[in-house]
């Protein structure tokens, strides 16, 4: 599928609806060159309306979740794109290593994805099972909304 010009880029600030009302905020930190696979940071607190959406408190270290996710919510317009994050600096919003776990064998691997294309895995190395790294799986936009609904109450 050939995509038209994407409505987002790295540094795009957006809002997404939660399952039972309210909204969360997000920032696209990395994207595959043709879109579709993104890495983002997501933030609380839960917003009750979109009247006064602020970016003042958005810092990578205050994110309630970081994850690889699909762009369908942005493409379909179900997630509201509010524009570029003011003072966006790519280096301030890193693509961290992730973790892939085998819960049955209680083994885990540190996964390094490409900084230029989060859909590409560059390496995997064994790591302790109880690491605090974000998980190495891709979330669909509905799953992102469900996860953030749970996190933000």
**Domain contains 3:** no
Residues 129-138, mean pLDDT to the nearest whole number: 94
Number of Cβ within 10 Å of residue 85's Cβ equals 19
Which structure tokens are listed for 133? Answer: 């790294």
Residue 96: in which H helix or E strand, if any? none
Residue 5's pLDDT band, with cuts at 50, 70 and 90, is confident
Which structure tokens are listed for 44? Answer: 């609380």
Per-residue pLDDT at 84 exceeds 80: yes
* Residue the block writes with tokens 């270290």: 61
**Domain contains 4:** no
DSSP helix/strand/coil, 25: strand
**Domain contains 5:** no
**Structural domain total, the chain:** 1
Domain that holds residue 130: 12-152
**Domain contains 118:** yes
Sign of CA dihedral 77, 36, 103, 111: negative
pLDDT in the model for residue 91: 97
**Domain contains 7:** no
**Domain contains 56:** yes
Rounded Cα–Cα distance for residues 142 and 147 (Å) = 9
Residue 107's pLDDT band, with cuts at 50, 70 and 90, is very high
**Domain contains 6:** no
**Domain contains 57:** yes
């Amino acid at each position: 599928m050939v995509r038209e010009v994407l409505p987002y880029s790295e540094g795009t600030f957006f809002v997404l609806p939660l399952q039972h009302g309210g909204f969360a905020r997000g920032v696209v930190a990395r994207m595959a060159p043709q879109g579709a696979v993104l890495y983002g940071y997501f933030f609380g607190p839960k917003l009750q309306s979109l009247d006064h959406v602020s970016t003042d408190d958005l810092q990578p270290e205050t994110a309630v979740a970081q994850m690889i996710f699909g762009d369908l919510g942005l493409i379909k317009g179900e997630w509201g794109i509010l524009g570029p994050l003011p003072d966006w600096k790519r280096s301030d919003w890193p693509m961290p290593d992730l973790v892939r776990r085998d819960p049955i064998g209680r083994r885990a691997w540190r996964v390094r994805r490409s900084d230029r294309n989060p859909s590409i895995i560059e390496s995997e190395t064994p790591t302790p099972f109880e690491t605090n790294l974000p998980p190495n799986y891709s979330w669909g936009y509905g799953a992102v909304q469900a996860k953030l609904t749970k996190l933000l109450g």
